[in-house]
Amino acid sequence: MRKREAQEPMVTPAAILEALKGCYDPEIPFNIVDLGLVYDVDIAADRVKVTMTLTSPGCPLHAVIAQEVRQKLEQVAGVRQAEVKIVWQPPWTPERMSPEARRKLGWSKGA
């Protein structure tokens, strides 16, 4: 193992999700993690691929959101390359949201 590799931080799914909590859907005041838009985080050494969706296939800001996600990923220590894949299957539903997000939006009991 090269000395430089030993000093580079290990990228973890928790670090990726924490960084993505800084990305917000422009129409709903919650981050993309709590909205349940992030479907998968794939880490291979210093490369990260996030598979995600949006609340609506017709979202006019899909490119802007994808770019913001990519930028947040590239700010995580140890990430050298980031890819964002937007998918439409399975479709997003409010059930994917965190309990807190559903409660704050009035979409669950105890709101």
Domain with residue 13: its CATH number is: 3.30.300.130
Residue 108 covered by a domain? no
Nearest to 85 by CA among 47, 28, 31: 47
> pLDDT digits over 42-70, tens only?
999 999 999 999 988 888 888 999 999 99
The three-state secondary structure class of 22 is coil
Full-model pTM: 0.85
Question: What pLDDT shows up at residue 105?
Answer: 86
| Domain interval for residue 14 | 3-96
Average pLDDT, the chain: 89
Residue 7 CB neighbours (<10 A) = 7
What pLDDT sits at residue 7?
61
- Note whether residue 106 is domain-resident: no
Number of domains in the chain: 1
